[in-house]
A and B are shown apart, each in its own frame.
Chain A
Amino acid sequence: MSAEKAVGIVLVSHSGQLAEAVADMARALAGGGATAPVATAGGTPDGGFGTSAELIAAAAHTVDRGAGVAVLADLGSAVLTVKALLAEGGELPDGTRLVDAPFVEGTVAAVVTASAGADIDAVEAAAREAYDYRKL
């Protein structure tokens, strides 16, 4: 993977710990060598549960390498805040998109795919496919 061109991944959760844990697990499962940049925006700036537009924007700028940023979100306000920021324009780096995927499985798929050097369309497709993996 050429680190300069990697798609960035942002995890938005109501919980800082949850976002960090999912990021750690995805990095571990992506394994072997450098992984794509992953940043988290979990909880509120004061450490409570909730969603922070500020943290989301900061996380997206942190992982932006010019190849696009894939955002995965957990529930309710996490999803709505990302959508509102995207609709506003100018808040998130160009090429940022909200990916419609399950949070944990989608993140693992996105990080593995991005770490392999795939473009944002492929990262998004991989994350979305996680919905098709039935457990029963």
Chain B
Amino acid sequence: MLGAEFFHRWMIACGSAVDREADRLTELDSAIGDADHGINMRRGFAAVTDALEKEPPATPGGVLMLAGRQLISTVGGASGPLYGTLLRRAGKALGDAGEVTREQLAEALNAGVAAVAQLGGAAAGDKTMLDALLPAAEALGESFTAAREAAEAGALATVPLLARKGRASYLGERSVGHEDPGAASSSLLIAALAEVAG
């Protein structure tokens, strides 16, 4: 069973991963976006880490809701409301349970991913974070490792795609040949989850 402490550690691991990979995320974003994804994600997860340390929530859902709230307020780019919605909706789905199973987390993550798709109006294959998140949430039903692998494969699979959403979509054919920064950061968050699960 996964308690609040596990979710807290997941969010901290997300912060470390984003911090470590911030330059790579920004580099990916300078190819097809506005070159701030790493900086934005680092700022967002630094705020998440701070907030969780100040008042650590007692439930898994509480941790995700608080983290999502921080991302919406502090990121400054589209990834803020998108990741914020992902975590908040997943947190809401977990309710006030003190501990949850991996299967319940998978279900909650699927609900979060569906909310992201609705908010951004994107679907699989649009070269967005969803290309990593959709297969990851699906594979989490099986295992943490499967989720990590699915996210990594999904992120890499965005390379040949034509961007159809967001700033990158204005580039048309020139968006082809670059990994989507949102899919790359999504893959980091799922890898952090697998890492914390051991």
Contacts and interface: CB of A to CB of B under 8 A. Distances in A.
B85 interface: yes
A84 B79 CA distance: 11
Interface residues of B, number: 21
A81 B115 CA distance: 14
B80 interface: yes
Contact of B88 (A50, A81, A83, A88): A88
**Interface majority SS (helix, strand, loop, mixed), chain B:** helix
Interface in B64-104: 69, 72-74, 76-82, 84-85, 88
A51 interface: yes
B72 A76 contact: no
A56 to B, nearest CB: 10
A125 interface: no
| A: interface residue count bin | 10 to 19
Given A54-B73, A88-B72, A88-B88, A83 B80 contact: no
A81 B72 contact: yes
**Interface majority SS (helix, strand, loop, mixed), chain A:** helix
B119 interface: yes
Nearest to B78: A77
B72 A77 contact: no
Given A76-B167, A77-B81, A88-B88, A83 B76 contact: no
Nearest to B76: A50
A98 B76 CA distance: 18
Interface string A82-125: 01110110000000000000000000000000000000000000
B81 A83 contact: yes
A77 B76 contact: yes
A53 interface: yes
Given A76-B167, A81-B72, A84-B72, A50 B81 contact: no
Given A53-B72, A76-B167, A87-B119, A81 B85 contact: no
Interface of B: 36, 40, 69, 72-74, 76-82, 84-85, 88, 115, 119-120, 166-167
14 contacts: A50-B36, A51-B76, A53-B72, A53-B74, A53-B81, A54-B73, A76-B77, A76-B167, A77-B80, A80-B80, A83-B81, A84-B85, A85-B72, A87-B115
